[in-house]
A = this chain, B = another copy of it.
Amino acid sequence: MPNIPYKIYLDESEIPSSWYNVRADMKTKPAPLIHPATLKPMTFEDMRPIFCDELIKQELDNDTAYIKIPDEILNFYKMYRPSPLTHAVFLEELLDTPAHIFYKFEGNNTSGSHKLNSAIAQAYYAKKQGLKGVTTETGAGQWGTALAMSCSFFKLDCKVFMVKVSYEQKPFRREVMRTYGASVTPSPSMETKTGRAINEAHPGTTGSLGCAISEAVEVAASTEGYRYVLGSVLNQVLLHQSIIGLETQAACRKYNIKPDIIIGCAGGGSNLGGLISPFMGEKLRGEADYKFIAVEPASCPSFTRGKFAYDFCDTGKVCPMAKMYTLGHDFIPSANHAGGLRYHGMSSILSELYHEGLMEARSVEQTSVFEAAEMFARVEGILPAPESSHAIRVAIDEALKCKETGEEKTIIFGLTGTGYFDMTAYEKYNNHEMTDYIPTDEDLAKGFAGIPNVNL
C-alpha cells in the first residue's frame, strides 16, 4: 500500500465536530434500561438523582444521529487527538501475510487508554450543570485515571472508589489519580452504608467492582451537588467513544483504505462500540459491508456463552437493569489479567447488534493473548495493554488466515491502550507462570441462575 504513511495523523481541523449515535440507524433500538422495582423503562426523572441531566438526555436519545461536541470538550480532545491510525507494516512483515493491518491507537495519553474520550465529556456536563463533583468506581484504574484527569481539568471534585485489592496491588495507578487531585478510597470502605455492611459481613474482604459501584452510587445519590459517572456499558459512553470510529473512518477515506474486518476487544463495549459505530452505520444504511469481531476473554465470555436477557448492571443491584448478553450479575470471572474485560454484561447497543447477527464474537485465552502482545510489542514498538492484546490476537489470526488463502484483506483493530501498569501480568508471562481458565458449563450455570426472570 504505497503513499500511506506509517502513522496517519489527521489534522486538528479534521477532528470530528459531532459524535455519531448509531442508535439512530438501528431498526430495532437497544432495549431501554428498566427500573428494578417497577420493571418499567427508566425515565429522565428516574435517573436525575444519579446522572447529570445532559447525559441522561444522551442516554435516552435513540434518534439523533449526530450530536455536536461542545467546544470545551473539543479543546481538550485537541490535547491528545486525533489519535494515530497506524499501518502495522512491521507486523505484516513478521507474519508474512498479504493482509493489510492497521490499528487505531488510543494509548497516547496519561490515562493510557480510550477512557479519556468519555471521561472528559462526562466531567464537562457535570461542570456545566453546576455540580461540585462526581463519584465513580475503578477496578484496574484506567477509567479512574481518565476521570481524575478530566475533573482536574474542569476543577471538579472527583471521588473514586477503587476495589481494595487493586488499591493495594496497583499503588501506581492510585498515585496517578491522586496526582490529578482525586480522592481514592479503597472499597469496601467505612464511608457508606453498603461498605460498612459488606465489611461487617465479610471481614477482611478485598472488595469487588460490584461493591465499589454500589458505594459510588450511594455517595452520589446522598451528597448534595454530586452525581455518579460510569466508564462503559451505557449508551452515552458509546456515543462519546464514537470519536474513535469517526476519526478512523476519516483517515480511511483520506487514504482510500477499505477495511474488510474491524476488530476490537470487548469488556463493557465502550471501545468496540466507539470504533465500529460509524462503520456499523454504513452497514445499517446499506452503504457498505464490514465484518465486525468482538474479542473477549475465554474466562469471561459474555457474548460467546452468555444469555441475552435483562440483568442487573452491578453485583450490588443498585443500578437499573439492562438487556444485554450477560453471564449473570453474580458471575465472578477467574483472575484474568485483563481487568478491563472482566465484566459480566455488555453494552445494550452491542448486544442488540450481535443478537441481530450484524457482528461476530470470539473468545481467546490469555496465554495466547500475551503471546500476541509480545509479538506485537517487539516489532511495532508499543507495549500493549492486556485488554487491547485480545484484539491483536484476533487480528493476527485473521492475517494468518489471509496468508493461507492468499487474500489481501484489510484489517483494522482498536489498540485501546498501553500496558505500563500491567507489568505484573507480563512478569507472569515472562516467567511462564501464566495459566488459562475457561469456565465450565456448571460455573456458567451458577451465574445464569442469578439472572432475574424478566420478560417485557
Contacts and interface: CB of A to CB of B under 8 A. Distances in A.
B110 A418 contact: yes
Interface stretch (A34-42, A131-139, A374-382): A374-382
A435 B421 CA distance: 26
A383 interface: yes
A376 to B, nearest CB: 11
B90 A180 contact: no
Contact of A377 (B11, B171, B180, B430): B180
B377 A7 contact: no
The A contact surface, by secondary structure, is helix
A129 interface: no
A179 B381 contact: no
A431 to B, nearest CB: 9
A330 to B, nearest CB: 34
A12 to B, nearest CB: 4
Contacts of A172: 172, 420-421, 423-424
A350 interface: no
Given A110-B418, A420-B421, A9 B6 contact: no
Contacts of A421: 172, 420
A5 B78 contact: yes
A337 to B, nearest CB: 13
B5 A379 contact: no
Interface size class of A (residues with CB under 8 A): 35 or more
Interface in A406-428: 418, 420-421, 423-424, 426-427
Interface in A70-85: 76, 78-80
A110 B382 contact: yes
Nearest to A76: B381
Interface in A109-147: 109-110, 112
Contacts of A382: 109-110
A394 B180 CA distance: 21
Interface string A364-385: 0000000000100111111100
A402 interface: no
Contacts of A181: 378
Contacts of A112: 420
Interface in A177-191: 178-181
A194 to B, nearest CB: 27
B6 A380 contact: no
A149 B430 CA distance: 15
A66 interface: no
Contact of A79 (B374, B381, B430): B381
A95 B379 CA distance: 42
A378 B423 contact: no
Given A383-B179, A421-B420, A378 B12 contact: no
A179 B430 contact: yes
A380 B108 contact: no
A92 interface: no
Contacts of A171: 423, 427
A360 interface: no
A453 B284 CA distance: 80
A379 to B, nearest CB: 7
A416 B112 CA distance: 18
A289 interface: no
Interface of A: 5-7, 9, 11-12, 76, 78-80, 86, 90, 108-110, 112, 149, 152-153, 171-172, 175-176, 178-181, 374, 377-383, 418, 420-421, 423-424, 426-427, 429-430
Minimum-distance CB pairs A-B, first 10: A172-B423, A5-B12, A175-B423, A6-B78, A152-B378, A110-B383, A175-B427, A420-B420, A9-B9, A178-B430
